[in-house]
Each structure stands twice: as structure tokens, then as C-alpha cells.
Amino acid sequence: MLDRQLDWRGDHFLLAGYTFRLQEERTEATADDAFVFYKTRGQVEQFARFFSETDFRPRRALELGIWDGGSAAFWTETLNLESYAAIDIQDRGDSSYFTAWRNARAETRVSTHWTVSQTDRTAIDRILRERELTPLDIVFDDCSHQYAPTLASFEHLFPLVRDGGYYIVEDWAWALSGEFQSPTHPWAVFPPLHPIVHALTDLHGSRPDVIASIRVFPSFLAVERGPADVRDLSVKAMTSRRSRPWPTIGVRAARHAAALAKRRVTRRR
């Protein structure tokens, strides 16, 4: 289990002899003596709970978002992944600490791909093909945290996940946190991500053969792939919607209520 492998020491933990320093506030800095790990202890414990409550053991993984490389090392070590690739739209490049870890622990298992957008289907498909990652066991979306690109990535990659595999959407509830409520917050102009929970839940109810289950944690969603053979996934188009004549029903209800009210007034007279 994840939590049994971690040696917690205040604001950091040790894993396989490497230091992962928790970073509550993202900065541009990297460290020469540790991974800057942009997760809280609570988030790590939620993932530990998820994996401890299932018998799911992935071997092939794709992650959207690299940052300092801490997630790449973390998931490769804790899940004993055989093959892992990660993309990031930025051009930060691998840190020296990450490079040292990969050379020592995962030289052929892990690849990073910078300046690749999460919505660049051509580039991502090429990476998956070159790394022989399909069908994917698991996808971690820890990337933009914006609704439109997150949904676009899900619709592209979820069909490539094997039956029984998982698609993880991290930080789905960021707009519900207190720190994001201020109109002056830099992210105040962005639409929230949490409506994706409703969209995917609706698809789960409409097509349980596509989405077999959804597990909701405060920090992430775990969406389980069903057995359906889906090539072109559209969450909106594949979700069942009843045609409801609400305008007509509303007018009739209003007229009925007005008639009842008129009768009551007449009786009182």
C-alpha cells in the first residue's frame, strides 16, 4: 500500500531513499536535494485509501502534468509501474534531482515530454504509440484544472483505457475552496472544474458500460472504464436526455393555479 512505503518527516517524506518535499504553494523553484511535490499529506492519504480499497494494480500509466517530476517518481515507485509517460505544456525540462532518480531507478520505464498540450491529440497519440502504452491502465490528469481542456482530454484518452482501468481527475473541487472565492484571485476568471462531476455522473447513469463506476474523493475523481467498445467519446452526445415540454407544462400549471385562486376568492364572497 502507498502509505506503508512512505517515511513521513514533517513537511516531507522519504520514498526509496529519495526526498519528496510537500509544496503547499506552487513556485517556479526546483530543488537539487529533493522533489518539490505539489500535493498535501491529505491528498496522498486519499490516494492510499483508494488503492487500499481496490485490487487495482496498474502497470502502464500516462500523466498529464509533470511540474518537478515528483509525481512521476512517486507513482512509478509506489505502484511499481512498468511503463510511465508524462506530458507538460511548459518547457521547464527535467530537474537534476529527477534525472538522477530516473538514471538510477527507472531509466527505461519513465519518459517525460515537455511542450505538449493536454489537448494535442496528435502528439499524445505519438507518445502512446512509441511507448507502447495502450491500452492504458491508468491516466492521471493533474494538468490545467480547467473544465474545457480537462473534458477534451477525458474524451480523447478514456476510450484508450482498458476495461477495469481508471481515469483520475485531480483537484476537481478547487473552485469550492475558500481561497478561490475572492474576486481578485488570479483564477477568479476561470470557470470551475467541479461541473465535470455532474457530466461524468450523468454519463455513468446513461452508459454504465462506458463508465462502470465513479469514486469521488475531496481531491480527485476515480472514473472506472467499462467494457464498451468506444472509439469517439462525446460525454454530452452519449448522455441520455429526456425531452420535457417545460414551457407548456409551466403555462398549464400557472393557469390551473390562477383558476383555483379565483374560485377561492369567489367562494369567500
- Render each residue's pLDDT in the chain as its tens digit; 269 residues: 676 789 999 889 999 999 999 976 555 556 678 998 989 999 999 999 999 999 899 999 999 999 899 999 999 999 999 999 999 999 999 999 999 999 999 999 999 999 999 999 999 999 999 999 999 999 999 999 999 999 999 999 999 999 999 999 999 999 998 888 888 888 888 899 999 999 999 999 999 999 999 999 999 999 999 999 999 999 999 999 887 655 666 667 767 777 766 666 555 55
Whether pTM > 0.85 for this model: the answer is: yes
Q: Which residues of 130-157 are buried (b: 16+ CB within 10 A; e: fewer)?
A: ebebeebbbbbbbbbbbbebbbbbbbbb
Q: Which helix (H) or strand (E) holds 259?
A: helix 246-268
For the chain, list the domains and their CATH numbers. 2-244 (3.40.50.150)
3-state secondary structure of 137: strand
7, 67, 229, 209: which is closest to 135 by C-alpha?
229
- Where do we find the cell 527505461? 108
225 contacts 163 by C-beta, under 8 angstroms: yes
Distance between CA atoms of residues 267 and 261, nearest Å: 10
What cell numbers appear for 247 in the block?
Answer: 414551457
